[in-house]
Structure 1
């Protein structure tokens, strides 16, 4: 479910990879899914909407930013973001979430030509109850690692801070919020100090046969930026489906978000289109 703004920029395209089979099942009853399969898809849909579910997933998320200042350019980021849960104790699990961005950054000044490469890596570790109640929660540290291959793609700083997530899933809804704030602790002295907030609320409504509609915008604040130019606040909507191809469970979705509040600075974008295809590996129940 997370991407980020600020020093890393956005995006290399996954366009064409996400040729998701959105078509309905054939009218022939023999081609329709078995009730058990449909139920499994609905169960998986709820799991993929839970950032701390006991579910191994490997999402490939492409973010296409449009209207990037200063010349209404395009920026693309492909986020490779595996999520791996591990047992911590008999009462708690550790959810490991990594975001590895591959970025095509346009030039942010009149005489720059842009660059392509790896951005800074995000790593978050949530401690969550192994048997959650009606309210699902997780807390842990978030890290921003200076892995960028070019100064324009990263912060040049090692950063760390707290992260938390809380959600509820009253059928057929999934409603929650995820947040972290990272602060630079050391790194290149010539680079700007990092103090960045990421806040993502998510609301999903599940439909039959694994379909869902969703809104999961990512709000960011650069507390070191000029006053009045710190926030990016998008609004938008998307749709997705959990399905299987040759017994491989997948989750595909498409969303669009308009940045209603955005800084008047180079790198800010008007719109973001988000395409995601996630490979899902459900864990067997433990007895």
Structure 2
């Protein structure tokens, strides 16, 4: 059963990758149906605190991890739900629930499948143009179904977003620092900083090109994991449903030997609800 589930997860990833690539390539033909709003949607999706409901499914596949040359497939379910607090202030809630299927990570011929820990972030974001700011709390919630896939810790800390956005161009960073405050006392404390520095350029068709750098700093273990991720994406429609597709190679720059992959791929399908 483990071998079957692992085969299915890899098949699902490459199906998602092929599906995404096909739609990105065909977006130039599909995008005109979305009219002038296609680029506006692409810009809003590049803004982590845009007042826009979206449900991204981020598929990540990494190979060559650790001393056993392991592989890991993660699908991050990442709904973004905004709330209007006042005429000039929004609360943007972002949820990340990872589903993990990994082999040869914790040892040779080992396999784990299940939920990992969830991360919930709430940004208070004033309505501004040009320079965009967001600040609020981030929470680590121990939702893992296997002790090897999670921390068994509840954590909390600050999160911040700073970016500049003009028509067709978005540049900025998003960051959080989370400390564990409760949980299994026999497990190691969680003390981790994460930031993503991003740049993207959109086109009238809804297509976009971008690059981001993801940095994860584990303060207790004194390790730093950095990856560089160029991407190509497109906003289009599946029937009446607005969606965004994106594909990206994951290029590891540095990291500890036990967690740094040799290479990786990412495919994203995001369901967008622009009328919300």
Alignment partners' CA distance in 1, 2:93 and 2:42 = 20
Q: Note the C-alpha offset of 1:109.
A: 4.1
Question: 1:17 and 1:223 mapped to 2: Cα distance?
Answer: 35
Asked if the contact 2:153/2:184 (under 8 Å) is kept, the reply is yes
Aligned to 2:251: 258
Asked if 1:186 corresponds to 2:182, the answer is yes
User: Which is richer in helix?
Assistant: 2
1:140-175 Cα offsets, whole Å, 9 max, x none, are: 000000110011100110000000001111232110
Note the C-alpha offset of 1:187.
Answer: 0.5
User: Conserved in 2, the CA contact under 8 Å of 1:57 and 1:279?
Assistant: yes
| Shift in alpha-carbon separation, 1:236–1:91, aligned structure 2, 3 A | closer
User: For 1:11-160, what aligned pairs fall within 5 Å after superposition?
Assistant: 14-18=13-17, 19-20=19-20, 21-24=23-26, 33=32, 37-111=34-108, 113-129=110-126, 131-160=127-156
Deviates more, 1:12-21 or 1:76-85: 12-21
| CA distance in 1: counterparts of 2:178 and 2:78, whole angstroms | 18
Instruction: State the TM-score, normalized to the length of structure 1.
Output: 0.86
**Structure 2 CA distance for aligned equivalents of residues 26 and 233 of structure 1:** 33
Alignment partner, residue 242 of structure 1: 235
- Separation (CA, whole Å) in 2 of partners of 1:147 and 1:26: 40
1:211 is matched with which residue: 203, 207, 211? Answer: 207
**2:215 aligned counterpart, secondary structure:** strand
Aligned residue number for residue 3 of structure 1: none
* Residues 1:280 and 2:272 are matched in the alignment: yes
Equivalent residue number for residue 5 of structure 2: none
* Structure 2, gaps ≥5 residues long: 1-8
8 Å Cα contact 1:54/1:283 also seen in 2: no
Instruction: Report Cα offsets for 1:5-63 as digits up to 9, x if no partner.
Output: xxxxxx97543135132344799xxx9835xx331111100000000001000000011
- Give the CA RMSD over aligned residues: 2.0
C-alpha distance 109-268 of structure 1, shift in aligned 2 (>3 A): same
Give TM-score scaled by structure 2 length.
0.89
CA distance in 2, matches of 1:100, 1:115: 16
Q: Shift of residue 106 of structure 1?
A: 2.1
Secondary structure in structure 2 of the residue aligned to 1:88: strand
Aligned counterparts of 2:44 and 2:161: Cα–Cα separation in 1: 14
1:153-172 correspondence to structure 2 within 5 Å? 153-172=149-168
CA distance in 1, matches of 2:67, 2:83: 44
